[in-house]
Amino acid sequence: GENVEQHPSTLSVQEGDSAVIKCTYSDSASNYFPWYKQELGKRPQLIIDIRSNVGEKKDQRIAVTLNKTAKHFSLHITETQPEDSAVYFCAASEAGGSYIPTFGRGTSLIVHP
């Protein structure tokens, strides 16, 4: 089955800095890579996703890159703000039919004002 590794487990940055979270996956059949943000005491919510036919996707201050050859994908957050503080999960899945994402263990991002 799919295995997703996520690093770092904790990331502490100053407000305004950039943050990068990296994930690797093992199953070459995976073709859909969502990122979820979970604020303290709240449910995980999708913030951005990327499909395997695209190398990069941006949405305002967040972007995701995908390297299919190396089987890794990354989340980039620029100009971080205190409200970006949360746990971020990457996931990988093979879309089509059964959609079951395998999640990484999460990265706790702390943005210091």
Partner 1 sequence: KAGVTQTPRYLIKTRGQQVTLSCSPISGHRSVSWYQQTPGQGLQFLFEYFSETQRNKGNFPGRFSGRQFSNSRSEMNVSTLELGDSALYLCASSGTGLITEAFFGQGTRLTVV
113 part of the interface to partner 1, by CB under 8 A? no
Shortest Å, Cβ 112 to partner 1: 22
Q: Is the peptide bond before 113 cis (omega within 30 degrees of 0)?
A: no
Q: Do you know the residue count of the chain?
A: 113
Q: 84 or 94, CB closer to partner 1?
A: 94
10 part of the interface to partner 1, by CB under 8 A? no
Q: 15 or 56, CB closer to partner 1?
A: 56
> Would you list the DSSP string of 28-75?
TT--EEEEEEE-TTS--EEEEEEETT-SEEEETTEEEEEETTTTEEEE
Shortest Å, Cβ 41 to partner 1: 9
Contact residue for partner 1 among 37, 75, 104, 109 (CB under 8 A): 104
Structure token pair of residue 60: 């305002």
32 part of the interface to partner 1, by CB under 8 A? yes
CA distance 66 to 112: 28
Question: Which residues of the shown chain bind partner 1 in the complex (CB under 8 A)?
Answer: 6, 9, 32, 34, 36, 42-46, 49, 51, 89, 95-96, 98-106
